[in-house]
Amino acid sequence: MIKQGFSLAMLLISPLLLASQTAEQLYSTAGGYGCSACHGKYANGAGNVGGNIRGASFEQLQIAFEQQPTMQLLGKSLSDIQKMKLIAYLDELSNSELLEWTIDLEPESNELELTTSKPAQLVIFNALLEPVVVDLSPLGGPNSLEIAAYSSHDWQWLPTPGNYSLTVGTRRLTLVVPQNTN
Amino acid sequence: MNRLFLSIIAIFGLAGSAFAQVTSIELYKSPTCGCCKEWAKIMEEKGYTVNIHHQQDWTPIKQKHGMPPQLQSCHSAVIDGYLIEGHVPESDIARLLKERPDNIKGLAAPGMPQHSPGMARPGDKYKDFKVIAFDDQQHLSLYQQY
C-alpha cells in the first residue's frame, strides 16, 4: 500500500520536477550564490535570514527586490522571465506540504502531523558534524540513506493515513497522517 | 643595556611587520550581493585590508581550498592561506591566525545567519549560528557556537 502510494506520488511529482529543472537551477545559482543562500535549499528558510518563501507571489518578489537593500542588485540582474521562473518554482514547492526534521546533538522524539492531503516533502537537516544514516523505507524510500555532515536531504511522497516512524540512533520522528485531511 | 633594548625593539618590529602582512584579505564575492560589503566593512574597521574581487561563480576558489560544499555562503575570503566562508566573526579569524592549527584549512559560517557580522544590526550580539572548521579531508568540527 505504501509502495503503491509512493509510486503514484512519483508519477505525479516527477514530471513537475523535470519540467522545472531550469527554474530549480536558477533558484540555486542566481547571482552566483543562489536564492538558497538566504532562503534555504528548499526555500524553507532553514534558519537563514530570508526565511521561507515557498509560494511567494510575483508581487512579493518584486517588492523584495525593490525594498530589501541586500536584494536590490540581484533584482536588477534578473529578467522578468527569470523572475517568473523563480515564482513558478516556488509555487511548485508550495504544492507539497513541508515537514522539517532537524537531527541534532540532543536526542529527541518529535511528532509531526500532516494537515493537508497534498504530497508531502520531508526536509531532513543533519545538524551534526558527522554523517548519519536514515531509514526511509516507511515512506517508500531507501532503507539506508546517508546524509552528509551539516547537510539537508529531502524526500517526497504521497501520504496515506497512518503513523510512520523514522529513527536515527536514539532520535525518532513520528509522522502522523490523519484519516481526514483537507 | 642599550643593545638589549634595541634587540627587543627589533624583534617586536619584525613580529609587527609579519602580522601586518597577514591582515590582507582577498574577498571573492558576487557583484549582486550587498551583505558581503557589510562584512568587509567590519573587517576593515578591525584593521584588515580587504581586496574585493567580483565574479558570479567562485566555486574554483572554494574547491581549491577544499571547502565542503554544504558549508557554502555568499562569499569566500582567503586570509594567509585559510579560506573563510561567509559571515565569520573577526574574533574567530584572529584566533585562527594566532593559533595557526595544522589541521584546519578554513572556517565557515554556512548559509546566511541573521545574527552574524554583516547581517546583524550594528551593535547587536552575534547569536544562533555556528562557525565550523574543516580540514583537508573535509572533516568538520565546531570552532565556535554563537
> Which CATH number belongs to the domain containing residue A139 in this structure?
2.60.40.420
Predicted pLDDT at B7 = 55
Same domain for A87 and A135, yes or no, is no
Q: Amino acid identity of A21? A: Q
Q: Does A105 touch chain B (CB under 8 A)?
A: no
Same domain for A7 and A90, yes or no, is yes
Across the range A62-74, mean pLDDT stands at 92
Q: Decide which of A44, A73, A94 is a domain's last residue.
A: A94
Which residue in the set A47, A130, A148 is minimally distant from B70, CB to CB?
A148
* Short-list A37, A59, A158, CA closest to B112: A37
Q: Decide which of A94, A118, A150 is a domain's last residue.
A: A94
Q: Is the pLDDT of residue B13 over 60?
A: no
> Which CATH number belongs to the domain containing residue A52 in this structure?
1.10.760
Same domain for A88 and A159, yes or no, is no
State the total domains in chain A.
Answer: 2
To the nearest whole Å, the CA of B16 is away from the closest chain A CA by 37
Q: What does R_g of chain B's alpha carbons equal in angstroms?
A: 17
Task: Kindly tell me the burial class for residue B142, based on how many C-beta atoms sit within 10 Å of its own C-beta (0-12, 13-18, 19 or more).
Answer: exposed
Same domain for A85 and A103, yes or no, is no
Same domain for A70 and A149, yes or no, is no
What integer best gives the mean pLDDT of chain A?
88
Provide the residue range defining the domain that includes B124: 2-145
Same domain for A129 and A158, yes or no, is yes
- B120 contacts in A (CB within 8 Å)? none
**C-alpha torsion angle, residues A127, A128, A133, A134 (rounded to 10):** -30
If one compares B13 and A84, the residue with the highest pLDDT of the two is: A84
Interior angle at CA B12, CA B6 and CA B14, nearest 5: 100
Residue A149 within any structural domain of the chain: yes
Same domain for A72 and A146, yes or no, is no
- The answer to whether the CB of B73 falls within 8 A of the CB of B49 is no
The proportion of chain B whose per-residue pLDDT surpasses 90, expressed as a percent, equals 78
Q: Decide which of A55, A78, A94 is a domain's last residue.
A: A94
- A38 contacts in B (CB within 8 Å)? 74, 111-112
Please name the residue of chain A whose CA is at the shortest distance from the CA of residue B132. Answer: A129
If one compares A103 and A108, the residue with the highest pLDDT of the two is: A103
Residue A182 within any structural domain of the chain: no
Provide the residue range defining the domain that includes A68: 2-94
Q: Does A47 touch chain B (CB under 8 A)?
A: yes
Please name the residue of chain A whose CA is at the shortest distance from the CA of residue B54. Answer: A32
Q: What is the pLDDT of residues A118-158, one digit of tens each?
A: 999 999 999 999 999 999 999 999 999 999 999 999 999 99
Predicted pLDDT at B3 = 59
Residue A141 within any structural domain of the chain: yes
CA–CA distances in Å: residue B73 to residues A102, B91, B110: 20, 19, 5
Same domain for A63 and A124, yes or no, is no
Q: Side by side, which strands form the sheet with A120-126?
A: A97-103, A120-126, A151-157
Same domain for A154 and A133, yes or no, is yes
* Short-list A31, A146, A148, CA closest to B69: A148
Q: DSSP string of A113-169?
A: E--SSS-EEEEEEE-SSS-EEE--GGGTS-SSEEE-TTEEEEEEE---SEEEEEEET
Query: Is this prediction's ipTM beyond 0.95?
Result: no
State the total domains in chain B.
Answer: 1
CA distance B108 to A58: 33
